[in-house]
Structure 1
Amino acid sequence: MYGAETWALRREEELKLVRTEMRILRWIMGILLLERLENDEIIRKAGFVKIAKKIRESRLRWYGHHVLRMDDEEGVKRDWEKPIRGRRPRGRQRKRWRDKVKEDMERRGLVEDDDFDRTQWRRRRIRQPTP
């Protein structure tokens, strides 16, 4: 999960992480596939939060805490606000980090102005509680 705040995961990559997480959890807890326990039940028993939620959490936390509060002269902030020139290839477009952050914010019902109001940002539960 190191550096997960900068990942723009595709669905395929996210599914690989979920499968790997579940394989490791089953191995740690000694649960066989033949036992037919659902993934959500295993995660709940282990007391974890799904890896995809943790990645979204870290991406939003990094965006809200670092990117939005940076000085306008810093590279990341400049690149975030700079319009992207050129044409993207035909077909379905690859998701950029910016697209994933906006998608995560929509999922939580956040807007950029909420970041400067820390109580509002926290009220929207950026952090995923452990079960």
Structure 2
Amino acid sequence: MHEAEVEVNSDAQAISKRGSFKYLGSKIQGNVEIDENVAHRIGAGWGKWSLAFVVLCDKNVSPRQNGKFYSVVVRLNLLYGAECYPVKNVHVHKINVAEMRMLRWMCGHTRRDMIRNEVTRGKVRLNSVADKMRGARLRWFRHVKRRCKDAPVRRCESLAIVGVRRGKGRLMKNWREVII
């Protein structure tokens, strides 16, 4: 039976097929892509940013303290679940752009000031998003390697096996390729 032919009912009410849904704070898509989840995480990060804006942009607080507060409140929300999916460079770039906008705003800079990202990151003492995501993936990989062999395979581990061809070109990166 094909997927399109399957009809799901709950108490005599038909449930329509969805391309994506929200589960435990993440957007799960029917295909293997994670574009919606990355956009959702960036939106969640901006949501936490707006709640903490008064504290983060307070000039009476040192940039280092603001950086600590930012990493605990905003960055954790921005990178939630990032260790489990195979990110592309485009996704890392989008997250990095959003974070740099927040950090510049926090330091009182604009792009017109032409202050390099490394200087802004050094001011608040934060590593790059790519480094943070790599560390989270390696930490998750240690957990995966440590589990027993008969444990069920989770979605993020099954993504390591999947390689979907998208038209011409090479296969998509899988989870194992991005932990390195």
TM-score by shorter chain over 0.5: yes
Find the counterpart in structure 1 of residue 132 from structure 2. 54
Q: What is the CA–CA distance in structure 2 between the aligned matches of 1:86 and 1:39, rounded to whole Å?
A: 34
Q: What is the CA–CA distance in structure 2 between the aligned matches of 1:40 and 1:94, rounded to whole Å?
A: 30
Find the counterpart in structure 1 of residue 148 from structure 2. 71
Is this contact kept in 2: 1:67–1:76, CA < 8 A?
Answer: no
Q: What is the CA–CA distance in structure 2 between the aligned matches of 1:41 and 1:24, rounded to whole Å?
A: 14
Say whether residues 1:43 and 2:121 are aligned partners. yes
Following superposition, the deviation at residue 85 of structure 1 comes to 8.6
Find the counterpart in structure 2 of residue 14 from structure 1. 92
Letter matched to residue 11 of structure 1: N
5+ unaligned residues in a row in structure 2: which ranges?
Answer: 1-78
Following superposition, the deviation at residue 8 of structure 1 comes to 1.1
Point out the structure with max Rg over C-alpha. 2
Q: What is the CA–CA distance in structure 2 between the aligned matches of 1:46 and 1:28, rounded to whole Å?
A: 9
Structure 1 residues 31 and 58: alpha-carbon distance in aligned structure 2, compared to 1, 3 A threshold:
same
Match of 2:108 among 10, 30, 37: 30
Following superposition, the deviation at residue 42 of structure 1 comes to 0.5
Following superposition, the deviation at residue 7 of structure 1 comes to 2.2
- With the length of structure 1 as denominator, give the TM-score of the two structures: 0.66
Following superposition, the deviation at residue 12 of structure 1 comes to 0.9
Greater relative CO, 1 or 2 (CA 8 Å, sep 6+) = 1
5+ unaligned residues in a row in structure 1: which ranges?
Answer: 105-131
Is this contact kept in 2: 1:5–1:58, CA < 8 A?
Answer: yes
Q: For residues 8-52 of structure 1, give each alpha carbon's deviation from its aligned partner in whole angstroms, at most 9, with x where no partner exists.
A: 111111111111110110111111212110001100111111111
- How many percent of aligned residue pairs carry the same amino acid? 33
Find the counterpart in structure 1 of residue 170 from structure 2. 92
Q: What is the CA–CA distance in structure 2 between the aligned matches of 1:85 and 1:9, rounded to whole Å?
A: 14
- With the length of structure 2 as denominator, give the TM-score of the two structures: 0.49
Spell out structure 1 runs of 4+ moving beyond 3 A.
Answer: 83-90
Q: What is the CA–CA distance in structure 2 between the aligned matches of 1:5 and 1:58, rounded to whole Å?
A: 5
Find the counterpart in structure 2 of residue 2 from structure 1. 80
- Give the total of aligned pairs: 99
